[in-house]
């Protein structure tokens, strides 16, 4: 069974469109993340939710809006897509325990977004 699954795996869309990427984890984790990996392979955190509460919100255009209906799901909605949004978006999850920070993060397989 896939631990962190995200859909779609590939998405090609035109500039200006709105799209969503969905993510689900079955690991029982309380924290989920969205990371973006650009063409230079840098993996940058965008958002994190802990028990449906937004705890990390990096400098990301407000066209990007995460939504966590429950702690097993974290979706990413992108409005008015731009060419520069083309990248691989990774969902991830972990247990968040402040006293033992450094917990392993489990990543999904990525969603390849191409904006044309």
Partner 1 sequence: SQKIEQNSEALNIQEGKTATLTCNYTNYSPAYLQWYRQDPGRGPVFLLLIRENEKEKRKERLKVTFDTTLKQSLFHITASQPADSATYLCAPMFSGGYNKLIFGAGTRLAVHP
Q: Does residue 27 bind partner 1 (CB under 8 A)? A: no
| Strand bridging mode 64-70 / 53-57 | unpaired
Is the CB of 48 or the CB of 75 nearer to partner 1?
A: 48
Indicate whether 76 belongs to the interface with partner 1 (CB under 8 A): no
8 Å CB contact between 96 and 103: yes
Identify the residue among 48, 64, 71, 74 touching partner 1 (CB under 8 A).
48
Residues that bind partner 1 (CB under 8 A): 4, 31, 40-45, 48, 50, 55-56, 90, 92, 94, 96, 98-99, 101-110
């Amino acid at each position: 069974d896939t631990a962190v699954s995200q859909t779609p795996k590939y998405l090609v869309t035109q500039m200006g469109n709105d799209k969503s990427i969905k993510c689900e984890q079955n690991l029982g984790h309380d924290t989920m993340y969205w990371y973006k990996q650009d063409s230079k392979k840098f993996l940058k955190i965008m958002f994190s939710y802990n028990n449906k509460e937004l705890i990390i919100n990096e400098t990301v255009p407000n066209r990007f809006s995460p939504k966590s209906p429950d702690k097993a799901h974290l979706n990413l909605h992108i409005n008015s897509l731009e060419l520069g949004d083309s990248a691989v978006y990774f969902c991830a999850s972990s247990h968040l325990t402040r006293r033992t920070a450094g917990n392993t993060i489990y990543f999904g397989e990525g969603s390849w977004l191409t904006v044309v």
